[in-house]
Amino acid sequence: MKTSFLVLLSLVLSFNYSYSQSGWYLQNTNTTNHILSISFPNPNTGFACGWYGTLLKTTNGGDNWFSLNYMGSTGFQSIVFPDINTGFVCGNNGTIIKTTNSGLNWTTLSTGTTNLLLIEDFLDVNTGYVVGYSGTLLKTTNSGITWVALNPGTTINLLSVKFVNSSTGYISGDLSRVLKTTDAGASWVSLVSGLSNNLGKIAFTDANTIYVPGTNGILFKTTNGGTFFTAQSTGNPNYLISANFKSVNTGYVSGANGTIIKTTNAGYNFVTQPTPTVNELHWVYFLDNLTGWACGYNGTIIKTTTGGVYVPVPAVPVLISPPNNSNNISMTPTLTWNTSSNATSYTVQISTTPNFINIIDSATTTATIYTVPSGKLNSTITYFWRVMARNSNGVSLWSTVWNFSTTAAPNAPTLVSPANNSVNVILTPNFTWNSVSNAVNYLIQISTSAGFMTIVDSATTTTTNYQIPAGKLNLSNTYYWRVCASNSFGTGSWSTVWSFSTAGAPSVPLLLLPVNGALAVSKTPLMDWGDVTGATTYKILLSTVSNFIVITDSATISPSQYQVPAGKLQDLFTYFWKVNASNSYGTSPWSETWMFTVYPDAMKVISNRVPEKFNFYQNYPNPFNPTTKIKFDLPGASNIRISVYDIKGAEIEVLLNGNVHGGSFEYHWNASRYSSGIYFVRLVSPEFSSIKRMVLVK
């Protein structure tokens, strides 16, 4: 491919140096290292790199910059973020590092070179190019996992690379060389040679319109893809290093001595913009025609949101309403003021003192109106307020201080009925409360939660009572209610929250006696349970089985206790019992099932501690007249039989015959109906047998 080059040096048609106040302002980077590159994947999140391993990040448009976690000290030259998470940085000794989590962690990529790498350009997260010294040109198509060395056809130092699409790209280099590819870097053609200007970083507006900055304030431009270049004077004598165009006509160029120049007619004329620095600005980067950053030596980052044009500090706002010295103002008033020229936002302050020592509320808004939130102001208080306007260049003076006085909103009502913690309330109760002076109407709320997260019913009324409609409340539920009062000046506080429970089936009874698992219970025990609110009757069931298939006794009674009649229970039997409660609205679930064991009256439990072995002790006293104590130990539940025999061996009386729990026991035998003589008592179980001799003396 043969190309020709024509250099036309154009005189500047319009050129303006302005040393008025700057539309650029410095940002705090907390470093003095040279910052050589900057990248913003979105308006808030930006990244910068520079010497000595400098890596910076901002999440608020550059208002604050902080250092990223990178342990190396390699000098970095270029940074680019194809998206918010994926970024690449290149620099000394062939270094390229990568992050996939927005700079939180970095990995070093293998490049196959130790040459200084200067500029990188990524079309997306996968495809990118890097250029550097000694004709170094690298390409990746897999997000940096592997890099392929391309042949640019020269060994000069390559200073900048920029691709306008997937096929067409340009490189600037030493000796005023400009290279072009139309096959994604496979081959390159030299467009420019023999010039005396050093070249900077390439910019473009389309595939054919390319800008290359250079020394002595010259900007090279082509509109035909490099067939012809125009060397155009910008009117600024400084070395121009970086260019950035976000539209066909509007572009910015940065350079030495804090230089920023701007064109709005595709480079035919340039205006030098005042900046707050004299440091070399190595890189200029714009998100759109107005918002951009430039970075450079000695830790410099500057920003503009006005296209670099100085916007004067806003005029002082003029207050409108509430009028000064107003009375009877709502506790949520709307404050308004006139628009201030050049203002982008306003700060409003409210205080109880005219010197604003005590700030009650403060807010920043882009509108000229502000409604004070509820809870900020109190009734019958005089408040002072003022407004200040601001933009990126500064703030206005405070407005004149005005004041207003709030009126008294109604007090909180006092609730009357249903009384707090009421029970068995009907489903359509009439709510009443005391009247409040100055109240025009009342708002009542009924909820299933004390925090009023779920509102069952809500109504506004001018009276001090409210009959809730049918269908709002349910049986057996607890509800919470409150009332507040309002007038034309505001709404008062809520009343105290009261609760009530609607009528319904009773709750489950709680069993009391005999305690669960009780032993040695009589055959006519008193069964007792707790009173249940709203219950009119109780039903009790007793059974020898826990599933109550066999009913030993059953009764429906009104008191909360029941005396088991004689003849229902038997000795040495374990019984299960439960109770439910009823009223006209229904029946509660059954209580827990408890159990107890009936022992003969003559049998006493000496200890529930289970002994280690069977023991059958000699009766005491012995001889006796007419009663004696027969003591025995059971190491566990056992089916035992204790019988008394006469001297002839005849069984005359069975004292116990059944299952007995483990423990120590004592049986009191009364032998008053027997004559004096020798008797024998025998304990028999499947595991143990023993006989003791007793002497009855009358």
Tens of pLDDT, residue by residue over 275-298, are 999 999 999 999 998 999 999 999
Q: Do 591 and 614 fall into the same domain? A: no
CB 575 within 8 Å of CB 542: yes
Confidence of residue 14 (pLDDT cuts 50, 70, 90): very low
Is residue 333 a contact partner of residue 372, using CB atoms and an 8 Å limit? yes
Q: From its phi and psi, is residue 3 left (phi > 0), alpha (psi between -120 and 50) or beta?
A: beta
Residue 589 belongs to some domain of the structure:
yes
300's enclosing H/E stretch is: strand 300-304
- Please state whether the peptide bond connecting residue 322 to the residue before it is cis, i.e. omega within 30 degrees of 0: yes
Q: What's the average model confidence in pLDDT over 181-193?
A: 88
Residue 179 lies in a domain: yes
Is 60 exceeded by the pLDDT of residue 372? yes
**Same domain as 624, residue 638:** yes
pLDDT of residue 176: 81
Q: Are residues 527 and 661 in the same domain?
A: no
- Per residue in 137-182, pLDDT (tens digit) is 999 999 999 999 999 999 999 999 999 999 999 999 888 889 999 9
Locate 133 and state its tokens.
Answer: 């010294």
**How high is the pLDDT of residue 627?**
95
Do 160 and 125 meet the contact criterion of CB atoms below 8 Å apart?
A: no
My answer on whether 62 and 158 are in the same domain is yes
190 assigned to some structural domain: yes
312 assigned to some structural domain: no
The answer to the question of residue 6 being in a domain is: no
Residues 142 and 235 reside in one and the same domain: yes
Name the percent of the chain lying above pLDDT 70. Answer: 96
User: Chain-centre distance of CA 518, in angstroms?
Assistant: 53
Query: What residues make up the domain containing 560?
Result: 511-598
> Residue 624 has which token pair?
């006796």
Shared-domain flag, residues 252 and 392? no
Looking at 450, 468, 502, the residue that finishes a domain is: 502
Residues 102 and 208 occupy one common structural domain:
yes
For residue 129, give the 3-state DSSP assignment.
strand
Mark which of 598, 619, 645 sits at the end of a domain: 598
| Residue 99, both tokens | 């992050």
Question: Phi and psi dihedrals of 110, rounded to 5?
Answer: -90, 120
Give the number of other Cβ atoms within 10 Å of residue 2's Cβ: 4
CB 509 within 8 Å of CB 530: yes
- pLDDT of amino acid 586: 83
The torsion defined by the Cα of 254, 89, 222 and 141, in degrees rounded to 10, comes to: -170
Q: What is the mean pLDDT of the chain?
A: 91
Average pLDDT over residues 203-224: 90
pLDDT digits (tens, 9 = 90+) for 86-130: 999 999 999 999 999 999 999 999 999 999 999 999 999 999 999
Confidence at 5, pLDDT banded by 50, 70, 90: very low
557 and 684 co-located in one domain: no
Q: What is the CATH number of the domain that holds 687?
A: 2.60.40.1930
- Is 566 found in the same domain as 464? no
**Torsion angles phi and psi, residue 92, rounded to 5:** -65, 155
Alpha helices (H) in 456-548, listed in sequence order: none
Per the CB < 8 A criterion, the answer to whether 57 and 47 are in contact is yes
Pairing between strand 319-321 and 334-337? Answer: antiparallel
C-beta neighbour count of 595 within 10 angstroms = 14
Same domain as 169, residue 155: yes
Record the tokens describing residue 111, joined without a space. 């490049």
222 and 123 housed in the same domain: yes
Q: How many domains does the chain have?
A: 5
Same-domain pairing of 40 and 100? yes
Evaluate if residue 196 carries a pLDDT over 80.
no
pLDDT per residue over 622-642, tens digit each?
Answer: 999 999 999 999 999 899 999
Q: What is the CATH number of the domain that holds 527?
A: 2.60.40.10
Tell me how long the chain is: 698
Is 101 part of a structural domain of the chain? Answer: yes
In a domain, 5, yes or no: no
Q: Mind listing the pLDDT tens digit for each residue in 606-619?
A: 988 899 999 999 99
Per the domain annotation, does 310 fall within a domain?
no
Question: Is 31 in a helix, a strand, or coil?
Answer: coil
Comparing 64 with 3, the larger pLDDT belongs to 64
* 246: enclosing H helix or E strand: none
Share of the chain above pLDDT 90, in %: 74
CB atoms within 10 A of CB 419: 12
Q: How confident is the model at residue 198 (pLDDT cuts 50, 70, 90)?
A: confident
Question: Amino acid letter at 647?
Answer: I
Q: Which of 304, 338, 366 is the last residue of a domain?
A: 304
Cα Rg, the chain, nearest whole Å: 49
